């Protein structure tokens, strides 16, 4: 009976000892075994491992490629143009012991890396003009940034896999100023186009009016010429007719005069009966 009282506690103690002695390192992790805070072992391969319970503890570190989004940073280019740069990086812990000793955990590492990346971005991009930062040469600048960040990250046991700029925008005040300048420029161009259009309209209208005047004058000239030619032919015809029969031509002209003078009934004429105008009525008087 007394022996049975001690077996159960011993089994529980052995089970607890085994439970706190065993730990598993996953494929995505690497581990550091610490004894009272001092690193004792580095475990890089996944699997089942043992430690001294209650004396040693394990710190797990990710060995995958991790992403880091840095806060937007204002950069002043060499031509004094301001730019808001939003970058991101990909990094990997390649030396767990150096990482643990220098920064301790991933949260601190991210903070330190963000500071280093932003500092390097200001240093490299601040030596370039804004036009360069927006051209194809930006890839060269990113390579310089990555190299500089890598040199400092090695002190933390970290390798920088990549550094990229997600977005590079002008500050809001600059964007508003550029928008206003572009708006003013477009309005100026619109005014120039309208002025040129009005000038062309005046030119076309004046040219058309001139052509109309010339055409009308030419038509009137031709009309007068044709009228003169018609009058000439008419007179010639009359002259020929007068030459062939002068008496009949006189009679014909008298009839035309009678028609114009006597038809209508509203005109009064006082003439002598023996007037030349009535010479063709002489026989009736006799």
Question: Which CATH number characterizes residue 131's domain?
Answer: 3.30.479.30
Neighbours of 143 (CB within 10 A): 12
Residues 84 and 43 occupy one common structural domain:
no
Residues 102 and 165 occupy one common structural domain:
yes
Angstrom distance (rounded) from CA 216 to CA 219 = 5
pLDDT at 286: 41
% of residues, the chain, pLDDT over 70: 75
**Antiparallel, parallel or unpaired: β 56-62 and 73-76:** unpaired
Q: Which residue has the higher pLDDT, 108 or 16?
A: 108
Whether residue 203 has pLDDT greater than 90: no
Residues 10 and 83 occupy one common structural domain:
no
Highest mean pLDDT among 107-111, 141-145, 255-259: 107-111
Domain presence at residue 196: no
Q: Please, are residues 42 and 97 in contact by the beta-carbon 8 Å criterion?
A: yes
pLDDT digits (tens, 9 = 90+) for 8-66: 777 777 777 777 889 999 999 999 999 988 999 999 999 999 998 889 999 999 999 99
Q: Please give the average per-residue pLDDT across 54-81, as a whole number.
A: 87
| 1-15, 153-167, 225-239, 265-279, range with the lowest pLDDT | 265-279
Q: What's the mean per-residue pLDDT of the chain? A: 80
Domain presence at residue 223: no
Predicted structure pTM score? 0.55
pLDDT at 1: 47
Domain presence at residue 163: yes
Q: 76 pLDDT band (50/70/90 cuts)?
A: confident
Domain presence at residue 188: no
Residues 119 and 168 occupy one common structural domain:
yes
Highest mean pLDDT among 90-94, 137-141, 185-189, 247-251: 90-94
Residues 71 and 142 occupy one common structural domain:
yes
Domain presence at residue 40: yes
Residues 75 and 132 occupy one common structural domain:
yes
Residues 121 and 84 occupy one common structural domain:
yes
Residues 131 and 98 occupy one common structural domain:
yes
The residue whose two tokens read 């009679």 is 251
What are the DSSP calls for the chain, one per residue? -HHHHHHHHHHHHHHHHHHHHEEEE-TTEEEEEEETTEEEEEE-S-EEEE--TTTEEEEEEE-S-EEEEPPPEEEE-TTS-EEEEEEEEEEEE--HHHHHHHT-SHHHHHHHHHHHHHHHHHHHHTTS-HHHHTSTTHHHHHHHHHHHHHHHHGGGTEEEEEEEEEEEE--HHHHHHHHHHHHHHHHHHHHHHHHHHHHHHHHHHHHHHHHHHHHHHHHHHHHHHHHHHHHHHHHHHHHHHHHH-HHHHHHHHHHHHHHHHHTTS-------TT-GGGGGGHHHH-
Number of domains in the chain: 3
Q: Please give the average per-residue pLDDT across 248-266, as a whole number.
A: 66
One-letter-per-residue 3-state SS of 56-120: EEEEEEECCCEEEECCCEEEECCCCCEEEEEEEEEEEECCHHHHHHHCCCHHHHHHHHHHHHHHH
Supply the range of the domain harboring residue 36. 2-62
Residue 120: Cβ-neighbour burial (10 angstroms; 0-12, 13-18, 19+): buried
Q: Which residue has the higher pLDDT, 38 or 132?
A: 38
Q: Which residue has the higher pLDDT, 173 or 19?
A: 19
Domain presence at residue 155: yes
Q: Which residue has the higher pLDDT, 91 or 272?
A: 91
Highest mean pLDDT among 143-152, 189-198, 220-229, 231-240: 143-152
Considering 131, 154, 175, which residue would you say is the last residue of a domain? 175
Domain presence at residue 220: no
Domain presence at residue 16: yes
Residues 136 and 234 occupy one common structural domain:
no
């Amino acid at each position: 009976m007394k022996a049975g009282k001690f077996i159960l506690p011993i089994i529980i103690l052995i089970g607890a000892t085994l439970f706190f002695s065993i730990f598993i390192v996953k494929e995505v992790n690497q581990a550091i075994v610490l004894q009272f805070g001092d690193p004792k072992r580095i475990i890089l391969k996944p699997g089942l491992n043992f430690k001294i319970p209650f004396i040693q503890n394990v710190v797990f570190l990710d060995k995958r490629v991790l992403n880091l989004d840095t806060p937007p940073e204002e950069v002043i280019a060499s031509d004094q143009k301001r730019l808001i740069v939003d970058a991101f990086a990909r990094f990997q812990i390649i030396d767990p012991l150096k990482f643990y000793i220098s920064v301790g955990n991933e949260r601190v590492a991210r903070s330190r890396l963000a500071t280093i990346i932003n500092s390097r971005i200001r240093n490299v991009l601040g030596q370039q003009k804004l036009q360069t930062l927006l051209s194809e040469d930006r890839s060269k600048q990113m390579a310089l940034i990555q190299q500089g960040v890598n040199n400092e990250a090695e002190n933390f046991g970290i390798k920088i896999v990549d550094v990229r700029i997600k977005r590079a925008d002008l500050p809001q005040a600059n964007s508003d100023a550029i928008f206003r300048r572009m708006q003013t420029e477009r309005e100026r161009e619109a005014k120039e186009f309208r002025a040129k259009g009005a000038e062309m309209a005046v030119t076309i209208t004046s040219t058309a009016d001139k052509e109309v005047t010339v055409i009308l004058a030419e038509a009137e000239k031709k009309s007068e010429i044709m009228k003169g030619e018609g009058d000439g032919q008419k007179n010639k015809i009359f002259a020929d007719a007068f030459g062939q029969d002068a008496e009949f031509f006189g009679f014909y002209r008298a009839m035309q005069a009678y028609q114009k003078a006597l038809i209508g009934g509203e005109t009064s004429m006082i003439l002598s009966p023996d007037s030349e105008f009535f010479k063709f009525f002489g026989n009736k008087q006799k």
